[in-house]
Amino acid sequence: MSRFGFLLAATLVTSNAGLLGAVDPSSALEESVLRTQFEKFVADFNRVYKDDDEVAERYEIFKSNIELIAVRNAAEAAAGSTGTHGVTKFADLTQEEFASRYLKTITPEDLAASKAQPGMFEAEATNNSSNSRLRGRQLLATYDQDWTGVYTTAVKNQGYCGSCWAFSVVEQVESDSMRLLGENDDFILSPQELVSCDTSNGNAGCNGGWTTTAYDYIESSGGLVQETAYPYVSGATGTQYSCDTDAILNPLVTVTDYYQYYTESAMAQHVGQVGTLSIAIDASTWASYTSGVMSTCGTSIDHAVQITGVNTDSSNSMGDAYWLVRNSWGTDWGYSGYIYLSYGDNTCGITTIPTYTEVKLTGGTSVPTAAPTAGSGISNTIKNLLREIEDATGLDEQYVVMILVFLIVFVICSCISCCCRQTRPRRQPPVRHVQNPVHQNYGEYPATQGQATLVYTPIQPSAPPASGPYSA
């Protein structure tokens, strides 16, 4: 059996069973098997080629990718990983075509020049930041958290446009809006605004961009509009299009600040306790990912996505500690649009630029119309009040809460004491009875003496002596 034949057999057996099915290794060497699988791939993914020459070209690319998939599976197995590669919707693209269409980030020459502040848990870890908001909060040893469907919108599809940076930023602003402003279906924002209108700081639409400079645009421009106001169209053509200034007149949400992490432990604390993170990453081997926890990839940053979950317990059902990452390649890739990446080893350069934002409603006409669900409303008002007090005083959250509780108890006790004084019956002064002779027909009358009331009770005159023999 040739090396190619062995790799082909291994690849077809470990690929998506729904697409390729089980294949007998002894027959995998035959060209007819590859041809049959290619035809199934074309049917399953609705591929239409312009002529027979392109069909032949795509078939040769498909064969090359089958060998590449087997090499990647061998690397994952050697690393002791559960990550698996197989035939996906990208199997008829060369690596260069895939990168030019889907992997486009423009990394700044100086990452340290970003205006991002240290994240809340990074401040705890380094203890050298003025951001003390969560300093002193108890941290867990392990985390198992998934914000999918809680602080996330549906999986999106960037299409044939290198706009991953725009999708990562929009998804993060959506998630932070749900977390800070209330879970609301109206927080479905427009990636097209960033693709077409954010041309500052080197961002270039379908030719790439960077997350933190996109935050700068959102803040300076007044915010992002909803997807319904500015629908995404660049994915169908790979064209940036000029900015529609009329479509962005009424933004819904804007960014007021953004924060960055530098370590996986701080990232895990955030995702485990707070919410999602936007990240930039090396996704050069992701085209063939199908399942498992992937651990083998490079660190040449070329893609931007969003972390939506973390499990730091290596004994979990996936067989390894992992990050759960939402991609922007549609639900027909990976785990319905998601990928699992190994936790703790800076897999794919995951610590390069993890960020989250603070957001607020713009007050424009494009405002949420649906009522906030549970977890918003008064609870978020209290959270915002606590944050404002913490920022204004520099006190830790626990001390702010203690002071507020003391003030509330003091006010309640004062009110109760006041009410008791108002309703208690006034005490009557004591009454002293004094007997004094009075004239006839003289009734009882009071006389005040100090704090006591003197009541004079008339003394009845003695009866006259009875008549007798000695009476005159």
Which residues are known catalytic residues? 164, 303, 327
Handedness of CA 341, 344, 346, 350 (dihedral sign): positive
Does residue 242 sit in helix, strand or coil? coil
**Count H helices, E strands: the chain?**
13, 14
Detail the DSSP E strand segments found in 141-273. 144-146, 253-260
Element (H, E) at 9: helix 3-14
Q: Are 197 and 221 in contact (CB under 8 A)?
A: yes
Radius of gyration for the chain, computed over Cα atoms and rounded to the nearest angstrom: 38
Amino acid at residue number 258? Y
Q: Are 44 and 62 in contact (CB under 8 A)?
A: no
Amino acid at residue number 129? S
DSSP single-letter state for residue 402: H
Burial, 74: exposed, middle or buried (Cβ in 10 Å; 0-12, 13-18, 19+)?
middle
* Measured distance CA(218)–CA(17) in Å, rounded: 44
170 Cβ neighbours under 8 A, 6+ residues apart:
189, 190, 191, 194, 224
- Furthest-apart CA atoms within the chain: distance in Å: 166
Element (H, E) at 305: strand 303-311
* Measured distance CA(367)–CA(370) in Å, rounded: 9
Looking up tokens 């080197």, which residue turns up? Answer: 202
Element (H, E) at 289: strand 289-291
Nearest to 354 by CA among 255, 268, 257: 268
- Number of residues in the chain: 472
Q: Are 322 and 343 in contact (CB under 8 A)?
A: yes
Q: Are 296 and 75 in contact (CB under 8 A)?
A: yes
Burial, 104: exposed, middle or buried (Cβ in 10 Å; 0-12, 13-18, 19+)?
buried
Phi, psi of 181 (to 5 degrees): -110, -10
Looking up tokens 């913490």, which residue turns up? Answer: 390
> Could you tell me where the DSSP H helices lie in 45-189?
52-78, 95-102, 120-126, 164-181
